[in-house]
Each structure stands twice: as structure tokens, then as C-alpha cells.
Amino acid sequence: MKVTEHLDRASEPLISYEIIPPKRGGSAEQMLEVVEELMPFDPPFIDVTSHSAQVTYNQKDDGSWKRVIKRKRPGTLGLCAAIEARFGIDTVPHLLCNGFTREETEDALIELNYLGIDNVLAIRGDDKGYEKPLPDNRSRNEYAVDLVQQVDDMNDGVYLEDLMDAEPTDFCIGVGGYPEKHFQAPNLTWDIMRLKQKVEAGADYVVTQMFFNNDYFFRFVEQCREVGIDVPIIPGLKIITGKHHLQTLPSFFHTDIPEALAAEIDAADPEHVEDIGVEWARQQAEELMREGVPCVHFYIMSSADTVTKVVEPMREMA
């Protein structure tokens, strides 16, 4: 089922989750156990992140360094298929511009279509410091809007080659939104207009980057509606579990942590930080639901332990 169908059929706000594939050489069972822990909370859909190749350096015995290019976390498509087959939960595999050619993307979409997976999230992807060489007979999506357009074209039966009687796909297309603006955007208004272009290219819904101040989200939604973006907008939340998040989250995700939250975490004993993060996320989620969001999306990555502490009390109150 498509994400938009889940939203349309829901009588109350949904709660969805985002996980990460295991590292190369790891076991899918690790992540399937995470999904198993989420099953009592009836997740409507689960996002599975994707990762392009990146450059790493391994030191050799002689002390020199060897440059290695590899994907540390492959397996997005396989993990999505395993989740749908074992649990019957719809999945949303992430598709990236960075690190993948349009031809590779088309092949991935064909695989997903054969597997009966109905949803994709089309994003540009992080800059890993490595740009894959582009052969003469290959092409690249530079921006997320280009990727959305490619998926939408396939939904119309238009492939990269001019194929006769090509079977159209029927993907529900999600895209990312940034309540505090993308870090490369000059301002929020400019960023929202880029988001509008993605919706006009065929995006069916928006899921936001994490934020810790709901006012940013409410302002973002209001501005989106003012410029004519009328698709569902799903807020994304992250639970702070350690003091290191005060540095890493703003650095990697360019998000602001409110002074009150940062001060409370900074003053707390390390073993109490998770409790603070859980309570903050619970209050965020409850306020968002009271204001009528269609869904709350939790970035949990590789563990369900903390998020269950947030959603269990909410389920008991429902």
C-alpha cells in the first residue's frame, strides 16, 4: 500500500519509523529484530535508508595507506523485501542522486516494482567526498527534483530508452523537507520554492528533516501551504540519547537544539540523558498530533529500545 493511502485511511495520526541497513558483512537479522520490536505498535510503513559509495583509507603493513572505495551499508532493497515478506509492513526504500547513475536508478526501480514495493523516497543524498566517474553512456540526476522526475516518468511508462509498450510503474514518491532550511539554501523561502518544484515534478508527500522545536515545523507548513504545496507533510523526530548529540546533530544535520533542552542535557548525569530525550520527544509528538499532523516519523536507525519508551505511553493514552 502507498504511504498516501495509509494517510488517507487513518482515523488518527500514524507513527512511522526509519531504520538503517547493517554494515557490510553484518546480518539482516539484526534489523529484522528491530522491526519485530516495533510490531506491537502497528507501524504503517518503515523507511530504509540508502548509502552511496565513499572513500576510506586503510593502513597497510608497511605503514602506507590504501585508498578504498566501497559502500559501507548496502542492502536497502533486500532489507525492504525481507521486511515486507516477513512482517507484511510496507517499506519506503530511499533512492539517491549522489553515487548512482540514472541507469542504476532505473534498474533499482524495476527491481522494486517486481517486488511489489509501492513507495520510494527520492533524495539527493549526502556528499561522501567521492563522485563516481560517469561513463560516456551513463547519466546522472544532479538534484532530487531530477530524481523525482525520473520516477514520475516511469510511472507514465517513460524509460531512459525509447521502449515500445513499456509497462508503467506506480510508485508513491516521497521527498525531504527542511523546517530550518537545507544548509546549502540561502534562506527558507528559497528552499521552500525548491520543494515546490519537487512536488510539481511528481512528489506525493514530504517528510521533514529532524527538528526539536515544533514552532519551526508549524511555520514551515504554513509557508508551504501559502505557495501552493498541498501534499501531506510528515514531521520527522529524533530522540536524543547522549550528550554527544548536542554536538553531532547540529554538525551533521544542521538542526537547532533549543536552549532549554541543551541546558537540561548538559547539566544532567549521563545516565539520565536518555530520559530527558524521551520526554522531550514525547511532548513534541503529542503536540504535533494535537495539531493534526497526518503522521509522526521517528528516526531510530538501528535500535527500537528508546522509541518504544516514547510511543508506549502515547498508545496507552489513545
Count of helix runs (H) and strand runs (E) in the chain: 11, 10
Give 293-305 pLDDT, tens digit per residue. Answer: 999 999 998 999 9
Instruction: Report the DSSP beta bridge partners of residue 208.
Output: 177
Confidence label for 53 from pLDDT (cuts 50, 70 and 90): low
Tell me what pLDDT residue 164 has. Answer: 86
| pTM summary value | 0.93
Average pLDDT of every residue of the chain? 92
Q: Does residue 108 contact residue 95 with C-beta atoms inside 8 Å?
A: yes
Tell me what pLDDT residue 127 has. Answer: 65
DSSP 8-state symbol, 125: -
Confidence label for 178 from pLDDT (cuts 50, 70 and 90): very high
Q: Does residue 141 contact residue 105 with C-beta atoms inside 8 Å?
A: yes
Q: Tell me the Ramachandran region of residue 245: left when phi exceeds 0, alpha when psi lies from -120 to 50, beta otherwise.
A: alpha
Give 98-125 pLDDT, tens digit per residue. Answer: 889 999 999 999 999 999 999 999 999 8
Q: Where are the domains of the chain?
A: 3-317
Q: Does residue 262 contact residue 246 with C-beta atoms inside 8 Å?
A: yes
DSSP 8-state symbol, 134: -
C-alpha cell recorded at residue 154? 516511469
Confidence label for 57 from pLDDT (cuts 50, 70 and 90): low
φ, ψ dihedrals at 143, nearest 5°: -130, 165
What is the percent of the chain with per-residue pLDDT over 90, rounded to a whole number? 82
C-alpha cell recorded at residue 233? 507533510
C-alpha cell recorded at residue 311? 510511543
Q: How many CA atoms lie within 13 A of 89 on its CB side?
A: 27
State which H helix or E strand residue 114 sits in: helix 102-115
Q: How far apart are CA 263 and CA 257, in angstroms?
A: 10
DSSP 8-state symbol, 141: -
Q: What is the CATH number of domain 3-317?
A: 3.20.20.220
Beta strands (DSSP E) in 137-237 are 172-177, 205-210, 233-237
Give 64-86 pLDDT, tens digit per residue. Answer: 666 666 677 889 999 999 999 99
Q: Does residue 154 contact residue 109 with C-beta atoms inside 8 Å?
A: yes
Residue 267 has pLDDT above 70, yes or no: yes
Q: How far apart are CA 51 and CA 28, in angstroms?
A: 16
Residue 316 has pLDDT above 80, yes or no: no
Tell me what pLDDT residue 68 has. Answer: 60
Cα–Cα distances in angstroms (integers) from residue 317 to residues 83, 253, 286, 311, in the given order: 28, 32, 10, 10
Tell me what pLDDT residue 59 has. Answer: 64
Instruction: State the greatest distance between any 2 C-alpha atoms of the chain, in Å, as a whole number.
Output: 66
Residue 311 makes CB contacts below 8 A (sequence gap 6+) with 15, 41, 285, 298
Q: Which residues of 240-269 are buried (b: 16+ CB within 10 A; e: fewer)?
A: bbeeebbeebeeeeebebeeebbebbeeee
Residue with cell 547539566: 267
